[in-house]
Amino acid sequence: MTEIKGISEILGKSLEELKNLQTSGKESFEQALKDAIKEATKVEQEAQKAIEEFAKGETSIDKVVLAMEKADMTLQTLIQVRNKVITAYEEISRMQV
């Protein structure tokens, strides 16, 4: 019996350590998505600002094209992440309990 008790104590400690790891300031998936959306919004605003500056004659076309491509790539990446999340959700919802 002492061996079983020893194993349960070890498992109990490791479970507590796992719980502590979860709450020790690690970034959650939700927070990562929120940060990605904020970053995409920021990149899009920078592209819009570059367009406005080009219209005023304050910047060159290459900077505008670069800002727009960066915004497009960020948006495409965000769309792909969304698609993967939706696919994962659909797979989980099809699982039988």
Is the residue at 90 inside a domain? Answer: yes
Q: How far apart are CA 69 and CA 55, in angstroms?
A: 18
Q: How far apart are CA 22 and CA 26, in angstroms?
A: 6
Is the residue at 77 inside a domain? Answer: yes
Taking only the tens place, the pLDDT of each residue in 37-53 is 999 999 999 999 999 99
**Which range marks the domain in which residue 52 is found?**
27-94
Q: In 1-97, which residue ranges form alpha helices assigned H by DSSP?
A: 2-22, 29-56, 61-94
Q: Centre a 10 Å sphere on the Cβ of residue 91 and count the other Cβ atoms it contains.
A: 9
The count of structural domains within the chain is: 1
Is there a contact between 67 and 52 (Cβ–Cβ < 8 Å)? no
- In this prediction the pTM is 0.64
Taking only the tens place, the pLDDT of each residue in 4-34 is 555 555 555 555 665 665 555 567 888 888 9
